[in-house]
Structure 1
Amino acid sequence: MSIKKVLVTGASGRTGSLVLEKLRQSPKEFEAVGFARSPEKVQEQFSSTEGFIFGDIKDKSSLEGALEGCTALIILTSAVPQMKAPPQPGERPEFGFEPGGTPEEVDYRGQVNQIDAAKAAGVERIVLVGSMGGTQENHPLNKMGNGNILLWKRKAEQYLIESGLNYTIIRAGGLLDQPGGKRELLVGKDDEMLENPPNGIPTSIPRADVAQTAVQALREPHAQNKAFDIISKPEDPSEGQVTKDFARLFAQATPGL
């Protein structure tokens, strides 16, 4: 079995770093390369910048060099809303985005750049990690900084599907900083689980489980050309079986947006 060279963008983020670590746990299967903007942040987070390429997803030329020789691309880049100032008592906080870091620039144009560069480089697979809520214009995340972040993410997902590349689109529920591999995972479509949570469970999932799902998507044929929402049941022995059979999980997902 030949080793797959995989570029992970957004690799210094909280979920991206987990994906990179999981890939690097299988060195006979994957050669994992991280893509990030800040060498200082990577040095602080990983104690080394080895195995990283630095650039900006808004600069297609830096992506082209990073994707050279890659078999797969895992996209974990996202705009990050920032609080403008601490709110006064009784007021709601206001959010905005740094210059050049709006959802349109990062979650749409930045992802389009990645998809185009991957196609030009002959990349065979793209796994895109996004968020649930893209069908809901009035979702609270879309209101943050008037950025419509989930709407731009969904537009980029449609672009990936129409690119002709082999894709897996993972739209995660609310992200939890909790251990993975301890819950049953559930897949759905078109925010149905947001509108009608199964048995009223929280529509959330540990970042570690999202990272594991992204890595397993590179392994499992059933994940190819699928797009799905994903959440987890609570970590409780009475709440179903821990998901270990990812082929079965991906088989429940469907093609198209």
Structure 2
Amino acid sequence: MRVLVAGAHGQVGRHVVRLLAEHEDHEPVGLVRKQEYVDDVASWGGEPVRGDVTDRESLDSAFADCDAVVFAAGSSGEDVWGVDRDGAMACVDAAEATDTERFVMLSAMNADQPQESPEALREYLRAKAAADDYLRESELTYTVVRPGALSDDPGTGRIRVGADLDRDDATIPREDTAATLVETLTVEETNGTTFELLRGDTAIETALRGLDS
């Protein structure tokens, strides 16, 4: 599967590129905004392509010949409406325009209930919620993954997933988040689902296959 990673140079996206490159059935294409990121993406095993999620016209050539998209781009709070909402929507439009059928969205826990989060995060969560809704209303085969607070702890390969998880430990390593996004691409039980993601005790594939139970 040829997979475009939007936000390939980001903290989660770089893990996604590396994991896809290690997978014998996947071919990662890393979408980067800056020329200076090209060599990094190549060193992680991805095919770098230039494009900007805030510039819709730059995306179609990047999306061409791709089978799937992992949207892992983010504004780091600097432009939540331009990147986290409109940028994600532009990628949905580009996927539809280029017949890129599969779309996995990296969202955020509490996107559906921003009032449950600190006020500083609420605008970001509203932007993410709008992007999630836009994807779900599209014709694409989608999955929306909503992790808790991301950490730089080493990945364990074990997670918890569900519609409304207990927040007793509302964290997840970035590495495990990336591994979940990659695994989600080919686990049919995740098609058309939105789920939360936290660290846990269940192997990633097993946890994802249990979503339909």
TM-score under structure 2 length normalisation: 0.90
Relative distance call for 1:45 and 1:75 in structure 2 (3 A) is closer
Q: Does 1:128 align with 2:125?
A: no
* Amino acid in the other structure paired with 2:208: L
Structure 1 regions of 5+ residues with no counterpart? 82-96, 234-240
* Amino acid in the other structure paired with 2:101: E
Aligned CA-pair RMSD: 2.2
Report the counterpart of residue 67 of structure 1 in structure 2: 63
- Superposed counterparts of 1:50-199, under 5 Å: 51-81=47-77, 97=78, 102-134=79-111, 135-137=113-115, 139-140=117-118, 143=120, 148-183=123-158, 185-189=159-163, 192-193=164-165, 196-197=166-167
Relative distance call for 1:125 and 1:247 in structure 2 (3 A) is farther
Structure 2 regions of 5+ residues with no counterpart? none
Which of 152, 172, 180 is residue 213 of structure 1 equivalent to? Answer: 180
Q: Is the 8 A contact 2:189 2:210 kept in 1?
A: yes
The structure that has the greater radius of gyration is 1
Q: Could you list the per-position Cα deviations for residues 91-141 of structure 1 after superposition, in whole angstroms to 9, with x for gaps in the alignment?
A: xxxxxx2xxxx111111111110000100100110001111121123622x
Q: Does 1:252 align with 2:203?
A: no
Relative distance call for 1:170 and 1:29 in structure 2 (3 A) is same
Secondary structure of 1:41's match? Answer: helix
Runs ≥4 residues deviating over 4 A:
44-50
Q: Could you list the per-position Cα deviations for residues 127-168 of structure 1 after superposition, in whole angstroms to 9, with x for gaps in the alignment?
A: 01111121123622x525xx7011110111011000021001
Q: Find the aligned partners of 2:44 and 2:120 in 1 and give their Cα distance.
A: 37
TM-score under structure 1 length normalisation: 0.76
* Amino acid in the other structure paired with 1:136: P
Q: Is the 8 A contact 1:172 1:231 kept in 2?
A: yes
Identity across the alignment (%) = 31
Relative distance call for 1:156 and 1:172 in structure 2 (3 A) is same
Q: Find the aligned partners of 2:82 and 2:137 in 1 and give their Cα distance.
A: 20
Which of 25, 32, 50 is residue 29 of structure 1 equivalent to? Answer: 25
Secondary structure of 1:61's match? Answer: helix
Q: Is the 8 A contact 2:21 2:46 kept in 1?
A: no
Q: Is the 8 A contact 2:33 2:51 kept in 1?
A: yes
TM-superposed CA distance for 1:24, in Å, is: 0.3
Q: Is the 8 A contact 2:136 2:142 kept in 1?
A: yes
